[in-house]
């Protein structure tokens, strides 16, 4: 279970998260919605361990992610967590397949089964012909799909998605959302997604709304 408890975060003395608490059970699929600037990306960055709050914290089965060592955090990210950033954060000097396989390579868990799973995901999201290309040679939508496959490749226990279909056309959006739904129901992966789209949000089991750094429902 993930417990977010009394999280407060400020930038330059301006409080952007004002005491956020929520519980996310294993196997849940939560959609986080709210206006631009309301603190959604900040919240999921804290849950993913990429940012530290001033007060409160995110706990995985009782362990505060902000208190992990750098080595523990790297291991967590390569095994338990899949994170799709709003800006994708692909590594420009690595080609598509090396970007996707990097977590498994770092974690020394790359085997034939995981390679086959990655191939399947690449075919499904129609990036299988681009594996040797570099991020700068891809469109935004293609980069987003590479980031999605990278996040799914190691079958994480928790998948955190920041507007994961923002660069996709509606047909691909549907494919990607069906894939997240399948991973949630068949592998039991916990999914937390930020989205602006009510249509995308409805793929989740529940919706949490944030306004000005606070949960409103
Ligand atoms: N690194 C940063 N430095 C300063 N201000 C930031 C930074 N990141 C986000 N903010 C500010 O914090 C607020 C919340 O941002 P964010 O969490 O990205 O919102 P959302 O994802 O809901 O659009 C915004 O006012 C934004 O300008
Ligand atoms: Mg955001």
Domain CATH for 21 = 3.40.50.300
Q: Would you say the CB of residue 40 lies under 6 angstroms from ligand 1?
A: yes
Which range of residues forms the domain containing residue 129?
Answer: 2-215
**N-term to C-term CA, the chain:** 20
DSSP 141: H
Q: What are the per-10-residue average pLDDT scores of the chain (217 residues)?
A: 98 97 98 96 97 97 96 93 97 98 88 95 98 98 98 96 97 98 98 96 98 92
Indicate the number of domains in the chain.
1
Which atom of ligand 1 is nearest the CA belonging to 34?
22
pLDDT at 31: 98
170 lines ligand 1 (CB under 6 A): no
| Confidence at residue 107, expressed as pLDDT on a 0 to 100 scale | 83
For residue 49, the model assigns a pLDDT of 96
> What whole-number distance in Å separates Cα of residue 144 and Cα of residue 166?
8
User: What pLDDT score does 164 carry?
Assistant: 97
Cα torsion for 134, 165, 40, 207, to the nearest 10°?
Answer: -150
Buried b (16+ CB within 10 A) or exposed e, 66-75: eebeeeebee
* Ligand 1: residue whose CA is nearest its atom 25: 37
Ligand nearest to the CA of 36: 1
Give 33 Cα–ligand 2 centroid separation in angstroms: 10
pLDDT for 217: 67
Q: How far is the CA of 203 from the centre of ligand 1 (A)?
A: 26
DSSP three-state, residue 12: coil
Tokens of 207: 């919706």
Which one of the ligands is nearest to 87 CA? Answer: 2
Q: CB of 39 closer than 6 A to ligand 1?
A: yes
pLDDT of residue 108: 84
The model carries a pTM of: 0.96
């Amino acid at each position: 279970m993930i417990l977010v408890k009394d999280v407060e975060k400020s930038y330059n003395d301006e409080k952007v998260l004002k005491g956020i608490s929520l519980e996310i059970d294993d196997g849940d699929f939560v959609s986080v919605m709210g206006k631009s600037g309301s603190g959604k990306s900040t919240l999921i960055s804290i849950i993913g361990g990429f940012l530290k709050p001033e007060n409160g914290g995110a706990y995985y089965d009782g362990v505060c992610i902000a208190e992990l060592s750098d080595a523990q955090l790297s291991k967590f990210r390569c095994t338990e967590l899949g994170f799709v950033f709003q800006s994708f954060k692909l590594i420009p000097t690595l080609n598509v397949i090396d970007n996707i396989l990097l977590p498994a390579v770092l974690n020394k868990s790359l085997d034939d089964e995981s390679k086959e799973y990655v191939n399947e995901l690449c075919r499904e999201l129609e990036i299988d012909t681009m594996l040797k290309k570099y991020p700068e040679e891809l469109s935004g939508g293609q980069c987003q799909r590479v980031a999605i496959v990278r996040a799914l490749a190691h079958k994480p226990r928790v998948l955190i998605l920041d507007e994961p279909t923002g660069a996709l056309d509606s047909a691909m959006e549907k494919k990607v959302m069906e894939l997240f739904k399948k991973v949630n129901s068949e592998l039991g992966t916990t999914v937390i997604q930020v989205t602006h789209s009510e249509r995308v949000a409805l793929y989740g089991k529940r919706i949490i709304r944030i306004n000005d750094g606070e949960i409103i429902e």
